[in-house]
Chains A and B, each alone.
Chain A
Amino acid sequence: MLRMALSVLAALIVIFSLWESYKWMGQQTGDAWPGTSVELPVSTDDIIMPHAVDIVGELFADIRDGRATLPLIVFLAKKAWFTFQEAAIGFFLGSAIGLGLAILMLRWRFAERGLLPWINVSQTIPLIALAPIVVTWGRHQNLPDIASIALISTFLTFFPVAVSALRGLQSPTPEHVELMRSYAAPWWTTLVKLRLPSARPYLFPAFKIAATLSVVGAIVGEISIGTKTGLGRATLEFAQRYAVWPERLYASVIGSAFLGLTVFGLVTLVERRVLRRAEG
C-alpha cells in the first residue's frame, strides 16, 4: 500500500517536472522548438497550460458550493464520493452480470455461440446514444438518477468481465477436468472447486479494467444525464468556463484521475488478499 502511494507520488513529480520544463521551454522560444522556427504542438500560454503550481494551488482555493464556501479539493472530494457510489454499483452489478453470462456460456455451448457476438457488438453502441434512453426509461420507472447512471456504468463494466471470465473458466487442462470426472463431481462442484479458482488469474485483470471503466461510465453518465452533482457535473461546469479559469478544469481532471486510481487500488488490494488465502 505504501509502495503504491509512493509510486503514485513519484509519477506525479515526473509529470509535474515534464509539464513545467516544456512550458518553460515554450516561454523562452515563443512556442517554437529550440533553434528552429517550427511551432510546438501545444502552445504554452497560461490558458492552455497553466503553471502546475497554480493548478495545485487552485485545489486549496475556496469555491462556492450552494450557500457554503469550501476549498476546491474538499468540493471535488464530495463530488467524487457521489460518483464513486455510482461507479461502485456499476462495478458490482456489471461484474455479477459478466460472470453470470460467462457461466451461462460455459454451461451451454449454444449460449456461447448465440451470446458472444452480441456481447461484442454491445460495446459499439455509443454512450451518448445510450444515456438518454436509459435516463428516460429510468425516470419513467421512477428510478433515481443515480440508478440510471449506475446502469450506464454497468454497461461498460460487464464486458471485460464476461469475456475474461469465459476464458478463465475454460482454462483448466483436460487432465484436471478428467480428474473431477473420475470423482463423479457434478457440473456445479467442478465449477466451484476447479473452474472458478482457475479463472482467478484471468478475473482480476478484468476487474481492474472494469473498475476504471466504471468510473468512466459514471462520469460520462452524469454529463449526458445532466445531474445536479458528481464529478462529471463539476467537470462539465469547469469545462464551460475553461477560458477564464483553466486551473479548475485541470484540478477536476486530477480529481477524476485520483478516483480512477483509488478504485484500481482497491481491486488490487482485494486481489492480494484473495490470492494469498490458501484453500482447504
Chain B
Amino acid sequence: MSTAIGGTTREHAVCIDSVDMAFNVGNDDEVQALSSIDLQIEQGEFVSLIGPSGCGKSTMLRLIGDLLTPTSGSVSVFGKPAHDARVDQDYGMVFQHPGLFDWRRVRANIELPLELHDWSKADRTDRSAEMLQLVKLDGFGEYYPRQLSGGMKQRVSIARALSFSPRLLLMDEPFGALDEMTREHMQGELLRIWKETGTTVVFVTHSIPESAFLSNRVVVLSARPGEVNSVIDVNLGERTPDTREDPKFFQTTTEIREALRAVEGAV
C-alpha cells in the first residue's frame, strides 16, 4: 500500500469498521445502501471512490462526515468518533450539489464557515480573496450565485470547503459539472493544495482517468448493496501534465476499468 506522506505511527485519518447502512429500516422501502464496509485511509492519502450510480458513494462520504449514522459498525476520523471530528471541524465537505446560499454574494458564501468559526472580518476578506484566486474566480466575489454557471458555482463550493484548511476533504463528484480544460486545471490545483497542506482527501468520481490521475488508491464499489469490490494501488509518482500520456497511466486506467466492468456486469 502506498502512502504519500509517511508517519505510520499516526492514527488513521478515516477508519471504517464493518459498517452497514440501511435506509428506512423496517419499512417497505427499506434500502440496504452499504454492506460490511471495511476501509482505512491514512493521513495524507488521496483516495477515490468509484462505482456504479446508486452504489452508496455519497452515503459513504456522509457516514465519514457524521451526517448519517451507520446502522451497524463504526466510523472514526483521526482516531475519534466521527461525531467528535465533525464538532471539531476536522473536515470540509464538497457536496454533489453546490448548495450555495442564493441570498449571499459569492464572497460571503465562501466566508460562511469562517463566519461560523468567528474569524475576524479582515481575515475573512483576505482568505476569500485568496480562495477566489485559487478557483479562478477573481472578480466574481460580488456576484450572486444565480449569476454564475453550474461549473462556476461548483468552484465556489470548493473554495468554501477549502477556506478553513480542514485536515480532511470529503469531495462528492466536485468536478462533474466542469468542462474538460477547467477540470484538468482544477485537478492540478487540488493536487497542489493536497501536497502543500498534507490534507487527506476522499474523492468520489465517475471518471476513471480522474481517479487514476489524482489518487494513491482507488476503491471500487459494487452496487446493491454497496460493497468494497477491490482496492487498486496507483503508483504514478509525481503527477505532471505528461502523466496523462504515460503508458503506466493507461495501465492503471485499464485496471480500474476492468474492475468496474466486473462490478457493473454483476448488477
Contacts and interface: CB of A to CB of B under 8 A. Distances in A.
Interface string A20-57: 00000000000000000000000000000000000000
Q: How large is the interface on A (under 10, 10 to 19, 20 to 34, 35 or more residues)?
A: 10 to 19
Q: Is chain B's interface secondary structure helix, strand, loop, or mixed overall?
A: mixed
A11 interface: no
A220 B226 CA distance: 65
B210 to A, nearest CB: 23
Interface in B65-107: 65, 67, 86-87, 89, 91, 93, 95, 97, 99, 101, 103-105, 107
B264 interface: no
Contact of B112 (A173, A178, A193, A198): A193
B101 A278 contact: no
B246 interface: no
B113 A280 contact: no
A274 to B, nearest CB: 10
Interface string B16-59: 00000000000000000000000000000000000000000000
A279 B108 contact: yes
A183 B116 contact: yes
A230 B93 CA distance: 59
A181 interface: yes
B111 interface: yes
Contacts of B116: 183, 185, 189, 193
B97 A280 contact: no
A167 interface: no
A175 interface: yes
B107 A280 contact: yes
Contacts of A243: none
Q: Which of A183, A185, A278 has the most CB of B within 10 A?
A: A183
Interface in A223-262: none
Nearest to B62: A178
A182 B105 contact: no
Contacts of B112: 183, 193, 280
Contacts of B115: 193, 280
B67 A197 contact: no
6 contacts: A181-B86, A182-B65, A278-B108, A279-B104, A280-B104, A280-B105
Interface of A: 173, 175-176, 178-179, 181-185, 189, 193-194, 197-198, 200, 278-280
Interface of B: 62, 65, 67, 86-87, 89, 91, 93, 95, 97, 99, 101, 103-105, 107-108, 111-113, 115-116, 142
